[in-house]
Chain A
């Protein structure tokens, strides 16, 4: 038997023959003869190799090289390169499909790929306690540029042109605010940072202060140069200990490096920044109240004008901006207004940070270009509604904002479009609400907050919020009366029109917007005594629908009162006298068999149960 240098195993299975392996074999034999290799190479026709989809296939031994999808035309190359010269032909070899890693890539995941990070550009990347890491990410370059190359007018023009609007809630153009203050003569001016983030569910500013404290300082340095301020304060609530600690450290480090204090970067510009701890009163987010608090007085607003730009802190010209606003300033100075405007819409430029929370799967801090449809934020970035429930509304702007229902979800997120719906962009709290929530209770929750937080200085707010809250309590407790909705609306407008500051002027918004979009819920509370979401206890009765109950027993196990009974695989029943309406069963049932009826149904069901019991006794 001849001693072959190599064995060429040509697949002769039906699949490969069908795809042409015999032709390849003939070509191969011919080519081998041409090169006088026929005595060195043994061509073997094998049985099916099993990899028919890649046929015709051939394995070359002893190297074990596996060629796929061969044609007669490929043969000369293989013979010449591989068999004669010993260089396997890579392009004809089988390639293992690239192993897909089980770890997804950011660009494939909407939570990440729909976001653009500007204000949050350093989040999770730098050590917030090391100034050098901030500097390594272009930190203080914008301040250096502003202090050396730009006149105050240049800075103001750049910020004005960028279209940046105050990120704290009102959306006032930042450049305009700076311009107003810069025109006021005065030796001593103040630059303030508002870190008194108070909306329930909002944590944008806290995260920026914690993750990137130096950006706040840099933004303030640039603002100080623009308006001519030499003293700055950061007003932070004491409930943010980590933010305070990191800001303190940042100020120390900046001072040590000469980035704060006298003669910053050798430019002759002076700015000193201090932290002032607030006690966490919501009203102190309002600018005039914040300034009073800073002066050591009780945090209460004063009428405007005079505006703070003219007479602010200690009656000196003052500019107050929000944390996120400052975080946007350094990149605007470095990259210019056209760059900033390249994202967003005409009137709402750039990006906005939102604290996405509530009933969505992905809770977090997100930054999106202005103009992105709300639906994308909730369904793509937020990953849809938790536990497969139904979307009901999204609350924007916290206690000063309003809710946006399903049918308006395609509106773009801009200051103008959101205001049209009756909500506001606000500082960026975005609370998603699912169908297990009662909108009257939601409004009541926010009013309870604003009633507590009203400073009490002006009667419309002090009394208005109290009365509004009381009215909502009445409705939720089943004491609602015909005409209450109209009365609520009137009171809302009165409070809005007559309150002194933003707190009272916006506190009724949650009521107005829930009435606007969910009036039917108010009506069913008042007229039918029925809270269909099963939240207001006096107005709901939980019962099990016999037709759909599978008798799985999950609700019975969840019930803390052991009020649910029934045989396995047979419909269960709630003992209404034991039920405390805690909703545990309602939230547990996977078959939608737990229903909510009006409050009065409870008595009917109890009476019916008693009747049946009596019947049972009689029959026995």
Chain B
């Protein structure tokens, strides 16, 4: 890989913003599984596997599945955040294989928030 210059940094920033702002990436939904030590200990890997399985089964090309670290609410792990284009992200908690499949079907594919598993919606205050 070539060494970066400061201009390259800016280019990467613009390019990868797409994974945060769904609109620019042409994606319809993004699912983030929180995989810090606390999440993994609580079973985040099973959740991730189930999700990958659902993605393959449904051949979803407009959905991003990604991982990230601890969401900060360790006692509610495993957690995942689902963000649909143009909507506030929804955090789900105490997930399992079955729960994430239901969320994938109902929220990601049909656009209906699975209220019984949802913890909170919205963005945290940064800065």
Contact = CB atoms under 8 A, between A and B. Distances in A.
A376 to B, nearest CB: 15
A258 B3 contact: yes
B66 to A, nearest CB: 5
Interface in A81-122: 101-107, 109, 111-113, 115-118, 120-121
A102 B69 CA distance: 26
Interface string A541-580: 0000000000000000000000000000000000000000
Contacts of B6: 144, 148, 265-266
What class of interface size applies to chain B in its complex with A? 35 or more
A587 to B, nearest CB: 19
A240 B69 CA distance: 14
Contact of A135 (B12, B118, B120): B12
B9 A124 contact: no
A211 B127 contact: no
B20 to A, nearest CB: 6
Contacts of A339: 127
B122 interface: yes
B35 to A, nearest CB: 8
Contact of A129 (B16, B19, B67, B88): B67
A127 B66 CA distance: 7
A72 interface: no
A interface majority secondary structure: loop
Interface stretch (A272-280, A357-365, A418-426, A435-443): A357-365
A116 B126 contact: yes
Given A101-B113, A256-B1, A259-B4, A125 B127 contact: no
A242 B37 contact: yes
Nearest to A112: B124
Q: Of A103, A104, A124, A128, which is in contact with the most chain B CB atoms at under 10 Å from its CB?
A: A124
Interface residues of A, number: 61
A104 B120 contact: yes
A140 interface: yes
Q: Of B3, B5, B20, which is in contact with the most chain A CB atoms at under 10 Å from its CB?
A: B3
B115 A362 contact: no
A117 B13 CA distance: 21
A365 B70 contact: yes
Interface string A315-339: 0000000000000000100010001
Nearest to A339: B127
Contacts of B111: none
A67 to B, nearest CB: 31
Given A111-B73, A116-B126, A210-B36, A106 B120 contact: yes
A125 B68 contact: yes
Contact of B1 (A103, A211, A257, A363): A257
29 contacts: A102-B115, A103-B113, A103-B119, A103-B120, A105-B120, A106-B120, A106-B121, A106-B123, A112-B120, A112-B125, A115-B124, A115-B125, A116-B127, A117-B124, A120-B72, A124-B70, A128-B67, A129-B67, A132-B12, A135-B13, A136-B13, A136-B19, A148-B6, A259-B4, A265-B9, A362-B75, A362-B76, A363-B73, A365-B72
In order of increasing CB-CB distance, the 5 nearest A-B pairs are: A211-B69, A258-B3, A106-B122, A363-B75, A136-B16
